[in-house]
Structure 1
Amino acid sequence: MTLLSLNNMKTDIGQYAVLHGVTLDIPEGGVFVLLGRNGAGKTTTLRSIMGLWTPTPGSVTFRGADITGLHTADIARKGIAYVPENMGIFGGLTVEENLILATDKGRFDQARLKRIYELFPALEQFWTKQAWSLSGGQKQMLAVARAIIEPRALILIDEPTKGLAPSIVAAMAEAFREISQNATILLVEQNFHFAKSIGRDMAVIDDGLVAHAGTMADFAADTELQERLLSLSA
């Protein structure tokens, strides 16, 4: 079943046209990966879905309802979470306070909190520490934990492995596999090894358009296509 549909989505940022007509269907469940060169429009696609920028023209449909032009907070209430590339955590607040801010009613569902502890044990260990004092990997764990502290149908995650140590990347991959059993993840990622290890479906964004879409297994097996669309041989 299709969870999210992007139809001819065009987004301008100031005087610059970034997306030129992105059309894409995101199926429900699993991890869907957006690949592409730097500046291709991947982050703009996520931000347009989340209502931070409004596509004109074009539309975004979530669970059959048009959410184009809605306020970001209203889009979030419909069951979409966003983990930006800069993580968006509050450095002066503790781990606990960061997570409380992401709850709907200002209190934790203990079952979900326990699940987060299981996924990211460091967050329980540093529960009362201010977020600025965490390592880069721990900050990324906190950013993802905020996105799943309430039930969400779709989680948009932008470049989660950037600058992280290999051991943290491996732990993040395992966490994403677990999370995607109960929610759909739309992931922007430059680390192709990481992307192909967890992605079920994929698309390549190139110059503001979808250059290719299909299964990750098929794309990972086609080195010529990878080299042409992503310059992986370089």
Structure 2
Amino acid sequence: MSLLSIKNMDVSIGQYSVLHGVTFDVPEGGVFVLLGRNGAGKTTTLRSIMGLWDRPAGSVTFRGEDISSLHTSDIARRGIAFVPENMGIFGGLTVAENMVLATASGKFDDTRLKRVYELFPALEQFWDKQAWSLSGGQKQMLAVARAIIEPRDLILIDEPTKGLAPSIISAMGEAFREISETTTILLVEQNFAFAKSLGRDMAVIDDGQVVHTGAMADFAADTALQDRLLSLSMEGA
């Protein structure tokens, strides 16, 4: 049973056709990784799922419900969160204020807040600091924490390790493993070592089309397939 099903999704931005019949299924549980070259259409796919781009053709189904025509806010209310590449945090607000804005009621559930602190201890330490003063890794932690402060069934995360130090990437990987035990993650990631350490299932997008889907373990073991689909060997990358 698929949690999220994308069928024949087309997306145009201005006069440019960006996605062409994108089709893949995200099963419930674990991490699903979307791979591809820069500019292949990965970010556009995530934004289109969230209703941030118009979809002139195709469908997006979540838990059996067609959400293709829903507004972004209504999609979020269905239990889907989006962590964009630019993180989407408010630099002039404190960590606490950023977190409050991510809640529906303006109040924290103590159990969920405790879990955020366990996953990202730095956020508790800098709770009253303005977000602009955080390091890049701490800002990314805040962005992910905002996505999990409310119960979610699915989190879309775009390029979370970009520009981060190896130690922060490792900590982020551990947090994602824990999160994926209860919440499905759809991850766009260029760091293949990170992606293959987390991913259970995967798809490759090339020139706005899905050209391969399968198990991450099989793809990670097939360097020839990586060469053919991604134009480079990602082993050890």
CA distance in 1, matches of 2:230, 2:97: 40
Alignment of 1:119-134 (within 5 A): 119-134=119-134
**Structure 1 gaps, min length 5:** none
SS in 2 for 1:58: strand
- In structure 2, the partner of 1:205 is 205
- Name 1:52's counterpart in structure 2: 52
Q: How many residues align?
A: 234
TM alignment of 1:154-233, pairs within 5 A: 154-233=154-233
Find the residue that maps to 1:116 and give its secondary structure.
helix
Structure-2 residue corresponding to 1:100: 100
- Structure 1: distance between partners of 2:34 and 2:55: 18
| d(CA) in 1 for partners of 2:233, 2:179 | 32
Seq. identity, %: 81
Asked if 1:87 is matched to 2:87, the reply is yes
C-alpha deviation, 1:232, in angstroms? 2.5
CA contact (8 A) 1:54 1:68 kept: no
Moved over 3 A (4+): none
Shift of 1:69: 2.1
> Under a length normalisation based on structure 2, what TM-score does the superposition of the two structures give?
0.98
The answer to whether the Cα contact below 8 Å between 1:36 and 1:230 also exists between their aligned partners in 2 is yes
Q: Give 5+ residue unaligned stretches, structure 2.
A: none
Deviation at 1:229, TM superposition (A): 1.1
**What are the superposed Cα offsets for residues 75-95 of structure 1, whole Å, 9 maximum, x if unpaired?**
000000000000000000000
Within 5 A, what are the aligned runs for 1:2-41?
2-41=2-41
Question: SS state of the match for residue 211, structure 1?
Answer: strand
Q: CA deviation at 1:98?
A: 0.2
Q: Secondary structure at the match of 1:167?
A: helix
Residue 152 of structure 1 is matched in structure 2 by 152
Instruction: Provide Cα deviations, 1:52-106, integer angstroms capped at 9, x if missing partner.
Output: 0121111100000000021100000000000000000000000000000000100
Decide whether the 8 Å contact of 1:21 with 1:58 is kept in 2: yes
**What SS is found at the alignment partner of 1:46?**
helix
Q: How far apart in 2 are the matches of 1:163 and 1:229?
A: 24
